[in-house]
Structure 1
Amino acid sequence: MKNLKEKIRKFLTAGPEIKKLQSESDESQWKFYSGIIYLTLRRVFHYLILIAFFGLFLLIGFGGGYALGIVRNQSIPTVSELNHQINHAQNSATLYYAGGKKIATVQPDTVTKKASKNEITPLVKNAVTATEDENFYIHKGVLPKSLVRAVLSELTGVGVQTGGSTLTQQLVKMQFLTSQTTWHRKVTEMFYAHKIEKYFSKEDILRAYLNAAPYGKNNRGENIVGIKTAAEGIFGKSISELNLPQAAFIAGLPQSPSVYTPYRLNGKVKKDLDLAMRRKDIVLFRMYRNGDISKKAYLAAKKYDLRADFLKPEKAPKQKKQSGYLYNLVMNKSTNLLVEQLIEQDGLKVSDVKQDTNRYNQYLTNASELLHQKGYHIKTTIRKPLYQTMQRVVKQNKYGQDKTSRDFDSDTNKWVNTTEHVENGSVVIDNATGKVLAFSGGVDFKNSQINHAFDTYRSPGSSIKPYLVYGPAVEHKLISSQTALADFPTRFGNYIPTDYNSTVENRFISAQEALSKSYNLPAVNLYSKLVNDKNIKLRQDMKKLGLNLSKSEFENLGLALGGTDYGFSVADNASAFSNFYNNGKRADPYYIDEIQDPSGRVIYKHKQNSQKVFSTGTSYIMQKMLHQVVTKGTASSLTGTLKFNYKNLIGKTGTSNDYRDIWFNGSTPGITISSWMGYDNFYGHSYNLDSNSSETNLNLWANIANALYKEDPTIFKLYDSPSSPSSVYKNRVLKQTGTLPGTVSFDGDNIDLTGKKTTALSLSPAPAATAKFGIGGSTADYNLFYDHLEGKDNDYGKVLIYTGKTISKKKNINSLFAVANGSTSEDARNYYGKNHEVYRESNNNSSSSTNRNVGANDRQARSSGGQGGNNNSSSSSTRRNTATESPSQNTSSENSNSTNEINSNISSDESVSINANSSTEPTAGDAAAVDNGPTTL
């Protein structure tokens, strides 16, 4: 062998000797090549061994270090906590208010009876340990192979399997953890198992396992947990009365209870029990192999006819379903959050799984089972005292008439009598954090289980104006609080919007007044300018406010009045409005704060996400403008009913078509409270509320706010008055034009614009005087304005009413309107003679509002009393003056009592958007003209 090695060495190092070796005998050559191969393979083998040892060292180091890291980060339960969890833990989730007070324990979908130590017989113990863990009495909770298998699974990505786990590990998984097959769970499971073995006896552990294991269904079709429940529910016996084949059958069920259970959902015995009987035979064999039973007993038990022992089916007792607005809301959201967790744990994307309906539904089923069978802890942001206060107030309030009808139910193919009640959805949101502090899902859960605060979507009406129209206009420096907005008869293609009750103010109105009194035409004119500016990204801003509207919705000018395709929920509306008292930021609304798994590990924690929409300056200006909605506008009745200081209260009303939906969003520096009223309108009904329903909703809002303030005034932060940012300009401008005084040229005339001034808030300096000073308005409208300034007795400032029922594009828009006074057309007089109720705005001298029927004569007197000629004005062919002392100027100013009275009675709130050319069925944002009165948005 020495010679051979020497030859090989020479072969590898001395080139010339190779020829000599090759010339030797065939046998020598064979030995030569064999030696080379042998040495090469031996060296490779040595290298492989070294690599394997090194890899094993890394594997142990990686696995041990990673496992140690998980253990260190794992909260260490006390012995008392362990005892409670394995012996006394709930089999379902618990829901909590903010602060830890319990809302409810989820009603488990299982029947459970716990067995005592004395009830568990040696026969049962032997059957279970021989089948599930033959080394149960030897190991200390964990077998080494479990750790090796877990580490290999983590490295290879194959997945951790539960087979081979000890009974202690299975107990931990059932009582503490989820069934997810992850490395983290496996390590945590082993950590808990080791600690349980350290402090509890084998008998205690085995009993806890038998009381926690699932055993399929009983003869009532109920899910059963615990061996005592199984013995009674399958064979009608106590544990001590079970014979060998019965004990073996039950011991085999926990491995796959849904497969091996003998009963179906209706409690009837399955026809095919082959798999269950095979499982029973496996248990018997392992007991025989383990020496627990003799061969004779084993063979006899295999032949035993178990089917004859199964209980006959019985009807399960009816259980009271646990439900309620809060319970259902939290359970549904928690289920969805758990679904996302389970999907992500499987390494999948939620969006991808949602595309597969069957697969997503399976995750939903799994998540629901976890909440009903595991001791999860769901912590919410809902404050119990506030929530209970809100429920009491909403239930005590009076709303409106019930609507009863007879309808055909397609689900049952029967005619049914239905009664619909006026419903309410209200929500209280913390402006800074987005926390939902309280809500009202409806007036009475027994009448309607629909959660009207979160799950219904309705047209927002004019409540959309602050954050869709006026806020963006201020932000992009299109307007100040005093910018003049046109309110004249205007056609936008086929779309002819009007103000309340099909009226038009026929004048320029300041942005402040237009918003506070919720005139529609100014809002549409302003929105038209916004959407036609390519530099303004309204859609992006609305997304930041949590409102996902389509491109086509933004192209519809009726959106400015709430004409959406699907509408908003109350929570959506409240959240969007809350930005004005959060420095222009919107915090995502939420009510699930945290979810803990049965081990106490936090598996979900809400992450606050705030989106900046408007600047601090815009927020400040909008606060000032929206405060006048409460003091002088459509919500002025609140000032007489609130029992707290409303100095910093802002708000906005909203009404959709024909009083279908009534809204009010109100904010203080601390919270936003939003309230909606309407009918559910089942079976295709179109029930509308009464014309005084806006007052009803405002009264409800006041009652809610007063009660919440009494319960906890700190949440309102009433005295946190925001200071004026440096970015806000306070300019003195003309009240009529919103510009600086100056001389302008219009239609060949030089005109001095002077007169009363007011303070305008804006993000830019005051605009210089210009002939066409407003947003919207045609040349004819400006002619009307300047002729009025000259003292001509025209229709400027006289409220007009829409009279046309069908129009053509060739028809002049002004011919479709008539002055609402004694000289109006017959159509207008007949319309107002119908005594439609009109919400009356408070003027500057009143802090309350009333409902009033306005007839033709009443309207005529008010209108004619406010319009006089300008006899004191000085004029010439080249110059017109806007003297402040002019009577006409007084009547057209916002301080005129007579004009204010007209406006208060006619144009108080949201109004119809009319598309008089449309011959198709009207939509919310583009309604057709109707014969039976106006449509409101």
Structure 2
Amino acid sequence: MSKKIKGEVSRTPKEKMTLLDVGAIFLRTLKLLVDFGYVVVLLLGMLGAGIAFGYLGSQIDRVAIPDKDTMIGQVSSLTRISTLTYSDGSLISEVSSDLLRTPVESSSISDHVKAAIIATEDENFKTHNGVVPKAVFRATLTSVLGLGETSGGSTLTQQLIKQQILGDDPTFSRKAKEIIYALALERYMEKEDILTDYFNVSPFGRNYQGRNIAGIEEAAQGIFGVSAKDLTIPQAAYLAGLPQSPIVYSPYTSTGQFKTDEDMSYGIARQQDVLYNMYRTGVISKEDYDSYKAYDIKQDFRQPEAIVADNHDYLYYTVMEEAQDIMYDYLVEREGVSEQDLKNDETKESYRELALEKIQTGGYTITTTINKTVHSAMQDAVAQFGGLLDDGTGTVEVGNVLTDNDTGAILGFVGGRDYNSNQNNHAFDTERSVGSTNKPLFYGIAIENGLMGSASILSNYPTTFSSGEKIYHGSSEGTAAVTLQDALNNSFNIPAFWTYKMLQNKGIDVESYLSRLGYDIDEYGIESLPLGGGVEVSVAQQTNAYQAISNDGAYLEQYMIDKITDSEGNVIYQHEAKPVQVFSKATATILQDLLRGPLDSGMTTTFDSRLKAINPGLANADWIGKTGTTNDFADVWLMLATPTVSLGGWAGHDDNTSLQSLTSYNNNANYMAHLVNAINAADPSLFGTDQRFDLDGSVIKSTVLKSTGLKPGSVKLNNESTFTLGGETTTSYWAINGAGQTTYDFMIGGTDSDKAAAWSKVSGQ
């Protein structure tokens, strides 16, 4: 008898077998559960696929089949030269396309490359009807289950449709159109014609100069220096591999240099895949495959050469940017792309790229609003007089925009001193703090809401921001009470500060006004907002705000493209004015009257006197405007307008370094005087020298005391005594309500002690 070990439980053989069985059962059960999990996942995947295919089918049902002529025209359409024109129809420039393409007939394309592309991209090309159902199923299922990307699912016919008509966004609606269009195209065209069109339109990466190439002929010439009909099998295999990822597989960089061996290896590996596909499908024998696989294709590549640089300028690229935006909107609307689809960055970017491609190669005529004579005069002026801006701090850059008040059309602009040395467009792309040019907008909001009249009195007593930081005007800490006109003429900071405080305390929705003027301001709690703090915009944007003031309060968003016409003469885009009445006519015309002062007084700019010295007749135009200078004199602004046009101007350094303290007062004023004189010489009618700003009939005229900006009357003081205040009167213009009777608290802004001091001064008490 064996000894029983202490602590061991004695079991019979039957009991021990049962424990083993339990372990095995547990493992089998676990395996079943795992297998069941796979089944559940598969079923869910199939359910998802079913939903996806159902949705795809619903999208297909909505697709309208294009007519034969339209579709053939679209897929066969090759590069056409688009043009940019001035407002009079004269040529600005042909649109440059980095894309080179030389179409050829089928007979000029090597059979080797035809066989290579079919073997690699669509081995059933000769037998299918445009779509391979199992390939569509595989691609859709892969997409639904998230099993990775696949190039399957698109025949050569579908790829042609995608390249020429639909673009490459990943939505089901586009895929549905692609399928229907491909089936239709196979009925409309012969296989050989479809294949030829594919070869003529497909992208093939970059050539030996780094330029983008499309079409088999440009590919053969640009990479191997031979015609497409003379390609060898190794060369054909290399080119046939390019359309899948042309930039990656191209042997050249964007500058036309050879890629590194590592980067070039991707294209060579792709060539090897094509050769194998040719062998696999019986196009070449095993012996030929082995021979071609060992061939060093790099020895056939053309040696790099330098490309000739373009000679475009600020105008060309500004028009192109706006044209791309318009074409993007046009394509999105034409294709019925939903807002949900556009939340996908890939979809959005694909339409951006398609828009640019259409502009570059679609044969469009893009008619701008730019006045050729005026714009040319502005370029001559900055070349001749831009040096007047230089103040010893280095070359001072400049941006100007000239806008038609009635329409918002941009008539001309200055992007900078010299495009060749500085490509930064200082008229449209440089955003800088606007300084004091913002003050009239805040005064306008106060006038609009009946809180201020043109003769109102504002505090300019010394004060601080809530942080305790003193508010300076230059080196001055403040003076006393001032009129609104004096506040504008001198561009005092403290009155503007108190005006914004008043608007906030009264609950005025300042954002609603500024947003309608096109401003996108992140933080409205910044106390220095009316002084330019937290407001950085382009010259174009700021000029647009002054256009609204000059146009009796109606804001018209600036535009530079009047219309776009396709190669058949159809207008696909025509600008439509959408005026927004930001200020009432009363408010706007009161501001116009006030804004004569900053120029006439000469307190912040010598523009008026300098223009009189150059052209006295032009100086007699009804000029209004406002200066602006930012901290440490980093930016100087001068906004100008007449009843017909608005002209904005900024000057400064790209690195935000300071200018001299009087650059705004003297240098910028001098330059702007010469600029407007040059514009006037190009078109003497432009500034409307025979027109005047007039107060609107709705303006309320109140007779007020000069000392208080309110009507004469008796004032009840805190000690219950009554004091009758009189004196010299003037007319104050109000948008609503009119001036009230003088009170002790007549001054806008200021502390209690400031108000006491102001009352003491006007009353003599």
TM-score class normalised by the smaller sequence = 0.7 to 0.9
- Pick the aligned partner of 2:511 from 539, 542, 546: 539
Evaluate the alpha carbon distance shift between residue 463 and residue 566 of structure 1 in structure 2; reply closer, same or farther with a 3 A threshold: closer
Residue 502 of structure 1: SS of its match in structure 2?
Answer: coil
Residue 497 of structure 1: SS of its match in structure 2?
Answer: coil
The reply to whether residue 705 of structure 1 matches residue 697 of structure 2 is: no
The reply to whether residue 282 of structure 1 matches residue 277 of structure 2 is: yes
Q: Which residue matches 1:487?
A: 460
Deviation of 1:259 after TM superposition, in Å, equals 6.3
Q: Which residue matches 1:743?
A: 714
Evaluate the alpha carbon distance shift between residue 397 and residue 123 of structure 1 in structure 2; reply closer, same or farther with a 3 A threshold: same
Q: Which residue matches 1:872?
A: none
- Pick the aligned partner of 1:305 from 273, 283, 292: 292
What amino acid maps onto 1:280 in structure 2? L
| Contact in 1 for aligned 2:74/2:164 (Cα 8 Å) | no
- Pick the aligned partner of 1:680 from 641, 644, 654: 654
| Contact in 1 for aligned 2:332/2:351 (Cα 8 Å) | no
| Contact in 1 for aligned 2:428/2:540 (Cα 8 Å) | yes
Q: Which residue matches 1:422?
A: 396
Q: Which residue matches 1:561?
A: 531
Once the two structures are superposed, the pairs formed by residues 139-538 of structure 1 within 5 Å of their partners are 143=130, 171=160, 173-175=162-164, 178-180=167-169, 183=173, 207-217=196-206, 223-244=212-233, 246-251=235-240, 253-258=242-247, 266-267=258-259, 270-271=264-265, 273-283=268-278, 286=281, 288=282, 298-306=285-293, 307-311=295-299, 314-320=303-309, 324-331=313-320, 366=353, 370=357, 374-375=361-362, 377=364, 379=366, 381-385=368-372, 386-400=374-388, 420-468=394-442, 470-490=443-463, 494-499=468-473, 501-502=475-476, 504-506=478-480, 508-533=481-506, 535-538=507-510
Once the two structures are superposed, the pairs formed by residues 707-722 of structure 1 within 5 Å of their partners are 707-712=678-683
What amino acid maps onto 1:460 in structure 2? V
| Contact in 1 for aligned 2:60/2:177 (Cα 8 Å) | no
Deviation of 1:642 after TM superposition, in Å, equals 6.4
Residue 664 of structure 1: SS of its match in structure 2?
Answer: strand
| Contact in 2 for aligned 1:219/1:311 (Cα 8 Å) | no
What amino acid maps onto 1:481 in structure 2? S
Evaluate the alpha carbon distance shift between residue 158 and residue 601 of structure 1 in structure 2; reply closer, same or farther with a 3 A threshold: farther
Show CA shifts across 1:122-150 (max 9, x none).
Answer: 555566567767898999xx74879x989
What amino acid maps onto 2:64 in structure 1? A
| Contact in 2 for aligned 1:339/1:363 (Cα 8 Å) | no
For residues 60 and 456 of structure 1, the distance between their equivalents in structure 2, rounded to whole angstroms, comes to: 49
For residues 761 and 154 of structure 2, the distance between their equivalents in structure 1, rounded to whole angstroms, comes to: 92
Deviation of 1:538 after TM superposition, in Å, equals 1.9
For residues 449 and 670 of structure 1, the distance between their equivalents in structure 2, rounded to whole angstroms, comes to: 30
Deviation of 1:471 after TM superposition, in Å, equals 0.5
What amino acid maps onto 2:286 in structure 1? L
Residue 285 of structure 2: SS of its match in structure 1?
Answer: helix
Show CA shifts across 1:106-126 (max 9, x none).
Answer: 544445455467643555556
Query: Please, which runs of 5 or more residues in structure 1 have no aligned partner?
Result: 1-55, 405-418, 793-879, 881-937
| Contact in 2 for aligned 1:234/1:311 (Cα 8 Å) | no
The reply to whether residue 666 of structure 1 matches residue 640 of structure 2 is: yes
Q: Which residue matches 1:656?
A: 630
For residues 246 and 671 of structure 2, the distance between their equivalents in structure 1, rounded to whole angstroms, comes to: 53
What amino acid maps onto 2:634 in structure 1? R
Evaluate the alpha carbon distance shift between residue 365 and residue 487 of structure 1 in structure 2; reply closer, same or farther with a 3 A threshold: closer
For residues 409 and 145 of structure 2, the distance between their equivalents in structure 1, rounded to whole angstroms, comes to: 41
For residues 132 and 489 of structure 1, the distance between their equivalents in structure 2, rounded to whole angstroms, comes to: 78
For residues 195 and 429 of structure 2, the distance between their equivalents in structure 1, rounded to whole angstroms, comes to: 47
Evaluate the alpha carbon distance shift between residue 445 and residue 676 of structure 1 in structure 2; reply closer, same or farther with a 3 A threshold: same
The reply to whether residue 615 of structure 1 matches residue 610 of structure 2 is: no
| Between 595-604 and 101-110, the greater mean CA deviation after superposition | 595-604
The reply to whether residue 637 of structure 1 matches residue 606 of structure 2 is: no
For residues 252 and 526 of structure 2, the distance between their equivalents in structure 1, rounded to whole angstroms, comes to: 60
The reply to whether residue 586 of structure 1 matches residue 555 of structure 2 is: yes
| Contact in 1 for aligned 2:747/2:758 (Cα 8 Å) | no
The count of corresponding residues between Structure 1 and Structure 2 is 689
| Between 631-640 and 768-777, the greater mean CA deviation after superposition | 631-640
What amino acid maps onto 2:739 in structure 1? A
Q: Which residue matches 1:27?
A: none
The reply to whether residue 626 of structure 1 matches residue 595 of structure 2 is: yes
| Contact in 2 for aligned 1:336/1:364 (Cα 8 Å) | no
For residues 784 and 260 of structure 1, the distance between their equivalents in structure 2, rounded to whole angstroms, comes to: 79
Evaluate the alpha carbon distance shift between residue 777 and residue 366 of structure 1 in structure 2; reply closer, same or farther with a 3 A threshold: closer
Deviation of 1:729 after TM superposition, in Å, equals 0.9
Residue 451 of structure 1: SS of its match in structure 2?
Answer: coil
The reply to whether residue 67 of structure 1 matches residue 64 of structure 2 is: yes
| Contact in 2 for aligned 1:235/1:309 (Cα 8 Å) | no
| Contact in 1 for aligned 2:79/2:362 (Cα 8 Å) | no
For residues 392 and 549 of structure 1, the distance between their equivalents in structure 2, rounded to whole angstroms, comes to: 35
| Between 330-339 and 536-545, the greater mean CA deviation after superposition | 330-339
For residues 361 and 309 of structure 1, the distance between their equivalents in structure 2, rounded to whole angstroms, comes to: 38
Q: Which residue matches 1:731?
A: 702
| Contact in 2 for aligned 1:399/1:696 (Cα 8 Å) | no
Evaluate the alpha carbon distance shift between residue 300 and residue 213 of structure 1 in structure 2; reply closer, same or farther with a 3 A threshold: farther
Q: Which residue matches 2:19?
A: none
Bigger CA radius of gyration? 1
Q: Which residue matches 2:544?
A: 575
| Contact in 2 for aligned 1:741/1:753 (Cα 8 Å) | yes
The two structures have a TM-score, normalised by structure 2, of 0.73
Query: Please, which runs of 5 or more residues in structure 2 have no aligned partner?
Result: 1-53
For residues 61 and 489 of structure 1, the distance between their equivalents in structure 2, rounded to whole angstroms, comes to: 71
What amino acid maps onto 1:631 in structure 2? D
Deviation of 1:450 after TM superposition, in Å, equals 1.9
Q: Which residue matches 2:733?
A: 761
Deviation of 1:254 after TM superposition, in Å, equals 3.4
What amino acid maps onto 1:483 in structure 2? S
| Between 762-771 and 476-485, the greater mean CA deviation after superposition | 762-771
| Contact in 2 for aligned 1:431/1:670 (Cα 8 Å) | yes
Deviation of 1:191 after TM superposition, in Å, equals 6.9
Deviation of 1:465 after TM superposition, in Å, equals 0.7
For residues 677 and 183 of structure 2, the distance between their equivalents in structure 1, rounded to whole angstroms, comes to: 54
Show CA shifts across 1:447-474 (max 9, x none).
Answer: 3222222222323222111002x11111
Show CA shifts across 1:521-569 (max 9, x none).
Answer: 3333333322332x21223322332333344x6442x33333x136332
Residue 420 of structure 1: SS of its match in structure 2?
Answer: coil
Show CA shifts across 1:259-312 (max 9, x none).
Answer: 6656777345644644432323324555x4xxxx6xxx5334322225324336
For residues 434 and 590 of structure 1, the distance between their equivalents in structure 2, rounded to whole angstroms, comes to: 6
Evaluate the alpha carbon distance shift between residue 485 and residue 298 of structure 1 in structure 2; reply closer, same or farther with a 3 A threshold: same
Evaluate the alpha carbon distance shift between residue 271 and residue 203 of structure 1 in structure 2; reply closer, same or farther with a 3 A threshold: closer
What amino acid maps onto 2:80 in structure 1? A
Evaluate the alpha carbon distance shift between residue 460 and residue 188 of structure 1 in structure 2; reply closer, same or farther with a 3 A threshold: same
For residues 498 and 576 of structure 1, the distance between their equivalents in structure 2, rounded to whole angstroms, comes to: 26
The reply to whether residue 774 of structure 1 matches residue 747 of structure 2 is: yes
For residues 252 and 238 of structure 1, the distance between their equivalents in structure 2, rounded to whole angstroms, comes to: 18
| Contact in 2 for aligned 1:376/1:595 (Cα 8 Å) | no
Deviation of 1:666 after TM superposition, in Å, equals 1.8
Residue 737 of structure 1: SS of its match in structure 2?
Answer: coil
| Contact in 1 for aligned 2:115/2:278 (Cα 8 Å) | no
| Contact in 1 for aligned 2:611/2:619 (Cα 8 Å) | no
